Structures are given as structure tokens and as C-alpha cells.
A and B are shown apart, each in its own frame.
Chain A
Amino acid sequence: MKEAIKLGYKIEFFEGYEFDTYPLFNTYVHDFFLEKKNSTGAKKFICKLHLNSLYGIMGRRQELIRTVNVRKDELYKYVVTSIIHSIISITDDTYVLLISDNLNTAIINQLNIKLNSDFKSFQSPVLSNVAIASAVTAYARIHMIPFKLNTDCYYTDTDSIFTKTKLNPSQIGNDLGLMKDELDGKLIKEAYFLGIKQYGYSYIEPLGGETVNKSVFAGVTRNSLSLMEIKQLHLGGKINKTISSKFFKSFTNLSIKIKDINLTISANREKELKGNVYHPIHIIQNENPSFKARFNIIEMLIKKIKYFLNFTRSL
């Protein structure tokens, strides 16, 4: 937000939580990064895996799923006391229940008052802290801001940019947080950006001189669309593609099938394109969404409870 204020964003503050700070991950990151730099093969892979998979666990929800196997005649007992996430039938007489634990006690209390019921959600705290996870992803977004604003940027995704501007040598290097040239000095000859995770580009291989096409299109195998096809989508066309070997699992007859599926793909731009430039979506939001959210959660829980009650009665 401090970055946004510099850009002229106007902020009206309401409430907040203030925290002290701590260099929580310093030794973890430094140790793994150093080792990653100086190793190969399995050890390098392990370092990479753990450098990237720790922060997310801090953001996991307190809500837990508990799995219980029950017989048909016990089902009702669970359905009227626990918040059920789902019921999976295994045989005519046995079911797997997924029960939600650690649900917000205030919400459960309100629900019980409303339904005159006795629902419980067992509490067993999970080590997580969303403030930390949120700080990590926010710092990451902040790090990307200058690359988006100070260069002629066409597209950006999490840690990467496509830009017309050649970066300063001081911004490039092997250290943490510095940029790396994905294409090793090669220039992209042509590129189309149609939306989030919808783009394609081509470059020329300096040795062989052949043109390489790359494409990313959500739902379709990477690089399976040619630049011509991306261009076609850009011009508003539709393309039919067959995706081979998708697995379909079924619990009811315990089968796994491999099927090909046919897809019709088209660009679905949410932003308005004027000339070659996309314009941001403009929204005016006046209400405070947080009260509505809690109300929605209770309504949703009641719906779920009724659904599982009816389901149990129908057996």
C-alpha cells in the first residue's frame, strides 16, 4: 500500500492490526539457497523444493478435514452433530465421512441459535499464520512493481515479465531477487497476449535458425498451440483441440477411464483492448463486504446441513 500511495492512490483507513517483525526465515532461506547454488542433482532438487514450499503452509486454513468410516445406521448421528464436508458411499452399508473441524466457533454458535441445534466443530489448532503467508506474497508483488511500471511491460505473471525494455545489467544476476534472462539473450520475434495465462510467442534459434513457438493457454497442454493459432484466437476465432489421455475416476463403480476430450477454445478477454493497449477494469464498490461474507457462510452451512439430512433420510 505504501507503494500505491507513492503512485497517487488515495487511502481512507478504517481499522487494522499492527505487528512487530522478526527475521523468521533468514537461516532457512540462506542455508537452502547457498546449498542449492553449490550442489547438483538430488540435493539441488531438494533445496529448490523446500525453498518454495514453506511459505504456503503458513497460509493454510485452520479448518481441518477429518475422515471417518461409518456404517449406514450411524450416519444420522454424525449428520446432526458435525459439519459434514462430504459423504462418499463405499458399499451399501459403509460410508466415508469428511467432517470439518476447527470451524469458527462464533459461526457455529450463531448456527446453533438459528437452528436450535447442537452442532460441534472440534478444535485442534494447526500451526499456520496467514499474516506471514500474506506478507510473503505481498513482498513478492511489491518486488515486481518496478519491473511492470518502469519498463514497457506487455505481460507479467508472479515472477516474470515480457517487456520491450532491455533491463539494466545491475538488475540481472544469479543472486536471490535478481532477474534472469529466460531466453539467454534471444529476442522474442512476435508475441500475442490475450489474457491471464493465455499467450504465445516465437523466437529464432540462433544456431539452427529455426523458429520456435511457445504457448501457454489455461486448460490446454503447454506449447500445443502454434503462434498462428494464438493469432487466430486474438482475432476472435475459435479453435477445436483434442486433449488426449485425461483420467476420469469414479467411486461408484470403482473404475478409472482414460478418455480424450474435445475442447473449443477462445480468448475471453476481461479487459478492454483499445488499439494495442489493454485498459484496466473499472469498479466502484461502496458496501463493506465483510458482514455479508459471514451471513453467506451461515446460509451456506444451513444449505449443506439440509442437503446431508435429506441424503441420509433417503437411504
Chain B
Amino acid sequence: MDNKNNFISIYYTFKKDGKISTISWKDSFRLFPISLDQLCNIFEVEGKTSQYNSSFNDISLFDKKELFHQFLIYSKQDSLALYKALSKAQQIYKEKYFVDICDVLSAPSLSLKIFRINHLDTKIPILKNSIDSFIRKSYFGGATDYYKAYGENLYYYDVNSLYPHAMLKPMPLNLIKTHKNLSSLSLENFKKFFGFVRCRVTTPKNILKPILPFKYQGKTIFPTGT
């Protein structure tokens, strides 16, 4: 399970004819976070033929013959559609990226596997606890902010693959120096510095669009001040 008490996988081990076997259930939504209809559409397999009926979700289902019959039909075609889509996916991944989707539990871990097998040509160091928690304070997500309330005649733009674009920049790899005291660091030398610092920031007065994030009362904001 994960830290939000959601199931990631379930294993059932049993003995049959003297042999030990395990059945495992995995959540395909963690791998492909889209609906089954979309998944079937993308992988070009026959999708759901009947829709989910919310009255299936009641224990009395087992006493209602007609409804139970519908439920069986629904369940079969639902499972079959998922199976067809996943089989096709498995084949593509094996041929193109040399990985088996059954070995992982989520899209990010599948990405990591593809990266490690096909692209990683150096060793990524694992950071010490203390350095991890120092740098983690700098880890913010995307910047979201609002500047004006009402607008007319506006344009709406978005960046093509912003994060992949960012990933092409030089990445920090090996820790080369720990600086316990940076109070005498000049701006000139800071320009050459690549890494993470703890510092006190004072914003200019009267700016309306601050650019540095700060965690304040559990929320990320872009404030002015010190």
C-alpha cells in the first residue's frame, strides 16, 4: 500500500497439488492514468461494449438475477478490453524499450526502468539524509500565480513539453563541495556557483510579480518581503 492507504498490489499465495503459486493483482491505472475507454482507443483494441451501472455497487446485486447477469457481462467485457490493451502495450514495450510492463507498478517507475536500461551512462549518487532534507526545501513544483482579475481580448499560450525542455539543461550530479559559511560569497563568484544555497532573500519594493517561491502556512506563494 502507499502512504495514503491505497492499494498498489495484492499478492495471494496458495498451495495446489503440492506446488506453491502466487497470483498478483496490480493497478493498471497507476501505469496508464487514463480511462479504459481512452486506453482501448489509443491501443486500437475493441473497448467496452456496455457501460457501468451504479446499481451494481450494492450487495443485493447477488439476489437480483437479471442485474447480476448484466454485471457478469459487463465484468467480462471490461476485463477483456483491459487485457487486450495491456497485451498490446506489453508487446510494444518489449520490442522498443526492452522492458516488461509487468515488472513495474507505475508510469514513473516504468520511465525509470527505460531510462536505466537504454540511456543511463553514469552513476546517480544517492544523497545523504542531511543533504536530501537541505535540498528538498528548494523543491517546488510549477509556478502558479494570478496577477489581474478581469480581462478582455486575452491570448492563452502554453509551452511545448516544458519539463522535458527543462531536463535538457545541465543537471546537478556529483557533490563537489560543501560550504558551511558562504557569507563572504560575492555576486561575481555566485554567478559561477552551481548548486543549492540557504540564504535570506529581500525582494525589491513595489514589485507586482515576484518570481521566487516560498512555503508559507503550508502553501506555496510568491511573496514580497524578507
Question: Residues of A with Cβ closer than 8 Å to B?
Answer: 1-5, 7-33, 41-43, 45-46, 49-57, 59, 61-62, 65, 67, 85-86, 88, 96, 98, 104-106, 125-141, 143-145, 147-149, 153-167, 172-183, 187-197, 199, 201, 234, 245, 255-258, 270-271, 273, 276-286, 290
CB distance from A31 to the nearest CB of B (A): 8
Taking a contact as CB atoms closer than 8 A, the residue among B120, B182, B195 that contacts A14 in the complex is: B182
Inter-chain contact B153/A160, CB cutoff 8 Å: no
Inter-chain contact A175/B129, CB cutoff 8 Å: no
- Judged by a CB distance under 8 angstroms, whether B190 is at the interface is yes
Inter-chain contact A22/B185, CB cutoff 8 Å: no
CB distance from A234 to the nearest CB of B (A): 7
Inter-chain contact A106/B129, CB cutoff 8 Å: yes
CB distance from B150 to the nearest CB of A (A): 6
CB distance from B3 to the nearest CB of A (A): 5
CB distance from B80 to the nearest CB of A (A): 18
CB-contacts of B94-144 with A (<8 A) = 107-112, 114-115, 118-120, 122, 124-127, 129-144
- Of all chain B residues, the one with the shortest Cβ separation from A5 is B187
Chain B residues closer than 8 Å to A17, beta-carbon distance: 131, 134-135, 175, 177-179, 195-196
**What separation, in Å, do the CA atoms of A286 and B168 have in the docked complex?**
37
Inter-chain contact B200/A162, CB cutoff 8 Å: no
Chain A residues closer than 8 Å to B178, beta-carbon distance: 17-18
* Majority secondary structure, A binding face: mixed
Chain B residues closer than 8 Å to A133, beta-carbon distance: 139
Inter-chain contact A176/B160, CB cutoff 8 Å: yes
**What separation, in Å, do the CA atoms of A287 and B187 have in the docked complex?**
24
Inter-chain contact A180/B155, CB cutoff 8 Å: no
A/B pair count, beta carbons within 8 Å: 445
Taking a contact as CB atoms closer than 8 A, the residue among B166, B190, B213, B221 that contacts A270 in the complex is: B221
Taking a contact as CB atoms closer than 8 A, the residue among B151, B157, B190, B207 that contacts A147 in the complex is: B157
CB-contacts of B204-218 with A (<8 A) = 204, 207-214, 216
Inter-chain contact A18/B144, CB cutoff 8 Å: no
21 contacts between A and B (CB under 8 A): A5-B190, A17-B195, A49-B32, A49-B111, A51-B161, A129-B125, A131-B127, A131-B135, A148-B211, A158-B144, A164-B154, A167-B155, A180-B157, A193-B151, A197-B144, A271-B146, A277-B147, A280-B221, A282-B224, A282-B225, A284-B225
Inter-chain contact B164/A52, CB cutoff 8 Å: yes
Inter-chain contact A10/B148, CB cutoff 8 Å: no
Known: A135-B172, A160-B159. A177 touches B127 (CB 8 A): no
**What separation, in Å, do the CA atoms of A47 and B186 have in the docked complex?**
43
CB distance from A168 to the nearest CB of B (A): 11
Inter-chain contact B201/A11, CB cutoff 8 Å: yes
- Judged by a CB distance under 8 angstroms, whether B46 is at the interface is no
**What separation, in Å, do the CA atoms of A191 and B148 have in the docked complex?**
10
CB distance from B189 to the nearest CB of A (A): 10
Chain A residues closer than 8 Å to B203, beta-carbon distance: 9
**What separation, in Å, do the CA atoms of A256 and B170 have in the docked complex?**
48
Inter-chain contact B43/A42, CB cutoff 8 Å: yes
Inter-chain contact A180/B159, CB cutoff 8 Å: yes
**What separation, in Å, do the CA atoms of A224 and B172 have in the docked complex?**
43
Taking a contact as CB atoms closer than 8 A, the residue among B2, B125, B132, B141 that contacts A137 in the complex is: B141
Chain B residues closer than 8 Å to A98, beta-carbon distance: 1, 3, 5
**What separation, in Å, do the CA atoms of A199 and B146 have in the docked complex?**
10
Inter-chain contact A41/B44, CB cutoff 8 Å: yes
Closest 10 CB pairs of A and B: A158-B142, A16-B197, A21-B170, A19-B172, A177-B165, A139-B166, A13-B182, A160-B158, A159-B162, A8-B204
Known: A1-B212, A127-B126, A132-B124. A144 touches B169 (CB 8 A): no
Inter-chain contact B153/A189, CB cutoff 8 Å: yes
